[in-house]
Amino acid sequence: MHLVLASASPARLSTLRSAGIEPTVIVSGVDESQLDNLPPAALAEALAELKCGAVAARDDLPADSLVLGCDSVLELDGEAHGKPVDAAEAAARWRSMRGRSGVLRTGHCLSDPSTGRVVSATASTTVHFADVSDAEIAAYVATGEPLHVAGAFTVDGLGGAFVTRIEGDHHNVVGVSLPLIRDLVADLGHEWTTLWQDVSRA
């Protein structure tokens, strides 16, 4: 089997590669704004399904492909927060998050185009944020990193020092839950290990 990743996220690609998988990246290009007024977990899953469906419908996929769509949002005070639109929003977001906790929701949708079967689920991880200072927020936002990620933070980059604790799957905070994908692969009747590539058997 071969995995097709319907996402431009370098963090997701890196996580999959570290797990022995070398996916083909095909960005869906869907308009995410068409989905609104959904609870955070439902929104993340619906966006993942939208991205997955757009790529799975293509006729130029590699043979024996499984298509994976993912989307993450941070739930804070019951609201879904994706990527900040600008530096001012990123800074405001951090001022509201500091010293508190939120729930990172990542929707996962996996499609087997050869059978037409599709499965989806959402992984949730609680993230506790440090009580960072205004100066730290300004410095972090100035790096540009918070502008490119859901929730305006990373756990595997510069923002890692501002995350004091997580409850749940660490990989989910990076953007893709490996245990959940394994379950979805099994739901479609395949073995997770068949997706491994160039893994030493020594």
pLDDT tens-digit map of 178-197: 999 999 999 999 999 999 98
The confidence band for 11, taking pLDDT boundaries of 50, 70 and 90, is very high
**Average pLDDT over all residues of the chain:** 94
Are 4 and 23 within 8 A, CB to CB? yes
Whether 3 shows a pLDDT value over 50: the answer reads yes
Whether 32 shows a pLDDT value over 80: the answer reads no
Whether 116 shows a pLDDT value over 50: the answer reads yes
What is residue 142's DSSP assignment? Answer: H
The confidence band for 132, taking pLDDT boundaries of 50, 70 and 90, is very high
- Residue tagged active-site, from 36, 71, 183, 198: 71
Q: What percent of the chain has pLDDT over 70?
A: 98
Q: Please give the Cα distance from 94 to 101 (Å, whole number).
A: 11
- Residue spans of beta strands (DSSP E) within the chain: 2-5, 24-25, 65-76, 79-81, 101-112, 117-129, 163-167
Angle at 40 between CA 49 and CA 45, to 5 degrees: 15
- Is residue 134 annotated as part of the catalytic site, yes or no? no
- Residue spans of beta strands (DSSP E) within 19-100: 24-25, 65-76, 79-81
Please state the rounded mean pLDDT for residues 17-22. 96
